[in-house]
Amino acid sequence: MMELMMMLLGGLVTIFCAYALALAFNVVRYRPFFKPGAAGMPPGSLGLPLLGQTLEFLRCFNGGNPDLFWRKRTGSSHFKGLFRTHLFGQPTICVITPEPAKSVLMNDKQFGVGWPKSFTKLLGGKSFLSMAGESHKRLRRLTVPSLTNSNSLKCMLSDMQTLTNDTLNNWVNRGEVVVLPEILKLTFNIIAKALLSCEPGADVDIFGMEVSLLSLAARSLAINLPGTPYNRALKARRKLNLRLQSIIKERREGVHASNLDVLNTMMQSKDEDGGGLEDEEIMDTILAFMLAGHETTAHAIVWVMYFLHKHPQAWQKLKEEQQIYELKGRTGSLSVSDFKGMDFMSRVIDETLRIVNLSPFTFRKALEDVELNESTIPKGWSVQLWFRAIHLDPATFPDPYTFNPDRWIDCKPKLGAYVPFGAGARGCPGSDFAKLQISALMHHMILSYRWEPINPQAKIKYLPHPRPRDGYAVRFFKNE
């Protein structure tokens, strides 16, 4: 008996020592060497070797309680809006309150591109998701106006409305639809038309599939072996390059040179010295717009539909607002400024983006040791900005999990407290485009159609973008 107890005790001690050694491994491996007098690192723990705290992170997100991960780490008296952890193979500082988030977002000198190299390789070296500093600024100056200027938005709006109406009519004929895949197709058709004047059809569908392979690889391990998502994405990228090269060549030869699309605007764009964009810069930017733009917008639309259906008062209020614009909408003369002036619509969109957090976090890398909120972020560490935690902070948004579009009547969050599109030098260039798409679609939907979710209790999947697990299956009707 005694022998058995001794064995058990020995086993427990071995397990304990192994665990303590495992915990010490990351601490020793990533021990920073700050200059004398510097503040220490933010509170937290690096977890196990290699895995860090990734399994706990995945358990929280996949178990339907994504906020548990950060809430558990905010109790310490040392907590000043940041904690340290180890996620996805990287020592990481998570920033979860507005002030330090603003400091990171507005400081692209000390905080650089945070995407993994394998991902930026897929996007291309001239994509502004991979670029930093002056070259990033120049690329934005030369490309972003093609997406944001009022003329471009005006042209896009008319296509958005036509494509949207075709889609909604088709849904009525089918009776039951799973909204997410349908909207993903619609938003891809819209972006392909806006960027390249491509008409919906088999060609654009193949284009969309290739882009979605890139998006899938962004969330997979970068293993380049036959059949892996990364390998398929590399192949898709080569095909996309060939396709884009031939479109650009045609444009240079004058085919469709008068198209009022983003590609033509980019090809004519000049910097202060009269220099234009290289073909590679144009191709990488078109892909960045496609990749960053269509999935997020599609998910946002699904969630606006979801919340409106759950909140009949908001539905009614939006309908009443949209009735003011009904006649103009029917005659096709609703303008970009009409959409921008729709108060309740914009409150519904802001509230949806705040609760849902389509980009729950974004990434940076500390380029040097940086002091922030009484602690030091070590050089080379990943910095994650947790927009989700910022937007669900009751100090800024009382009763944060309640969908309440009217909270925006008086709520003017300070910089850093509401950042669904990021902020600073890397802020989203597609925010107006996205909001216009959501508004145009919801305008038609709320006035002429209604929908009933088939699984109103469907659980939510949080990664990579939050969505109802069933893709939001609905019965869809045209109003009599």
CB 191, CB 291: distance < 8 Å: no
Backbone angles phi, psi at 200, to 5 degrees: -55, 150
Q: Is 46 or 214 the residue whose CB approaches ligand HEM more closely?
A: 214
- Is residue 359 near ligand HEM by the rule CB under 6 A? yes
Task: Give the binding range for ligand HEM (CB under 6 A) out of 294-302, 325-333, 340-348, 468-476.
Answer: 294-302
Q: How far is CA 219 from the centre of its chain?
A: 13
Which tokens hold the place of 222? 């970068």
Sort 375 into a burial class: Cβ within 10 Å, 0-12 / 13-18 / 19+. buried
H or E element: which one contains 27?
helix 2-29
CB 46, CB 94: distance < 8 Å: no
- Is residue 433 near ligand HEM by the rule CB under 6 A? yes
Tell me how far, at minimum, the Cβ of 298 lies from ligand HEM, in Å.
9
Which tokens hold the place of 131? 């670029």
Give the residue, chosen from 200, 293, 329, 416, that forms a contact with ligand HEM under the rule CB under 6 A: 293
Give the residue, chosen from 104, 129, 157, 204, that forms a contact with ligand HEM under the rule CB under 6 A: 129
State which amino acid sits at residue 428.
C
Task: Give the binding range for ligand HEM (CB under 6 A) out of 31-39, 45-53, 57-65, 425-433.
Answer: 425-433
- Is residue 96 near ligand HEM by the rule CB under 6 A? no
Task: Give the binding range for ligand HEM (CB under 6 A) out of 96-104, 157-165, 229-237, 414-422.
Answer: 414-422
Tell me how far, at minimum, the Cβ of 229 lies from ligand HEM, in Å.
22
- Is residue 292 near ligand HEM by the rule CB under 6 A? yes
If binding means CB under 6 A, how many residues of this protein chain bind ligand HEM?
Answer: 25
Tell me how far, at minimum, the Cβ of 357 lies from ligand HEM, in Å.
8
Cα–Cα dist 319/454, whole Å: 22
Sign of CA dihedral 231, 88, 392, 129: negative
Task: Give the binding range for ligand HEM (CB under 6 A) out of 171-179, 230-238, 274-282, 354-362.
Answer: 354-362
Tell me how far, at minimum, the Cβ of 429 lies from ligand HEM, in Å.
5
Q: Is 187 or 376 the residue whose CB approaches ligand HEM more closely?
A: 187
Task: Give the binding range for ligand HEM (CB under 6 A) out of 80-88, 237-245, 275-283, 415-423.
Answer: 415-423
Cα–Cα dist 288/266, whole Å: 14
Tell me how far, at minimum, the Cβ of 37 lies from ligand HEM, in Å.
32
User: Any bridge partners for residue 451, and if so which?
Assistant: 476
- Is residue 417 near ligand HEM by the rule CB under 6 A? no
Residue the block writes with tokens 């974004």: 362
Residue the block writes with tokens 């390249």: 196
Task: Give 170-229 as a DSSP string.
Answer: HHHHHSEEEHHHHHHHHHHHHHHHHHH-PPSSHHHHHHHHHHHHHHHHHTS----STTSH
User: Any bridge partners for residue 152, and if so which?
Assistant: none
Cα–Cα dist 326/321, whole Å: 9
- Is residue 430 near ligand HEM by the rule CB under 6 A? yes
Tell me how far, at minimum, the Cβ of 40 lies from ligand HEM, in Å.
27
- Is residue 421 near ligand HEM by the rule CB under 6 A? yes
CB 477, CB 171: distance < 8 Å: no
Q: Is 413 or 422 the residue whose CB approaches ligand HEM more closely?
A: 422
- Is residue 429 near ligand HEM by the rule CB under 6 A? yes
Q: Is 81 or 293 the residue whose CB approaches ligand HEM more closely?
A: 293
**Ordered strands of the 449-453 beta sheet:** 176-178, 473-478, 449-453
Q: Is 263 or 358 the residue whose CB approaches ligand HEM more closely?
A: 358
| Helix spans in 357-453 (H) | 387-391, 431-448
Q: Is 69 or 433 the residue whose CB approaches ligand HEM more closely?
A: 433
Give the residue, chosen from 53, 110, 322, 362, that forms a contact with ligand HEM under the rule CB under 6 A: 362
243 CB-near residues (< 8 Å, 6+ apart): 207
CB 435, CB 428: distance < 8 Å: no
- Is residue 296 near ligand HEM by the rule CB under 6 A? yes
Annotate each residue in 135-154 with x if it binds ligand HEM (CB under 6 A) or - if it does not, as one string.
-----x------x-------
- Is residue 428 near ligand HEM by the rule CB under 6 A? yes
- Is residue 389 near ligand HEM by the rule CB under 6 A? no
Tell me how far, at minimum, the Cβ of 193 lies from ligand HEM, in Å.
12
Residue 474: how many CA atoms within 13 Å on its side-chain side?
23
Chain residues that interact with ligand HEM, rule: CB under 6 A: 128-129, 140, 147, 288-289, 292-293, 296-297, 300, 353, 358-359, 362, 420-422, 426-430, 433-434
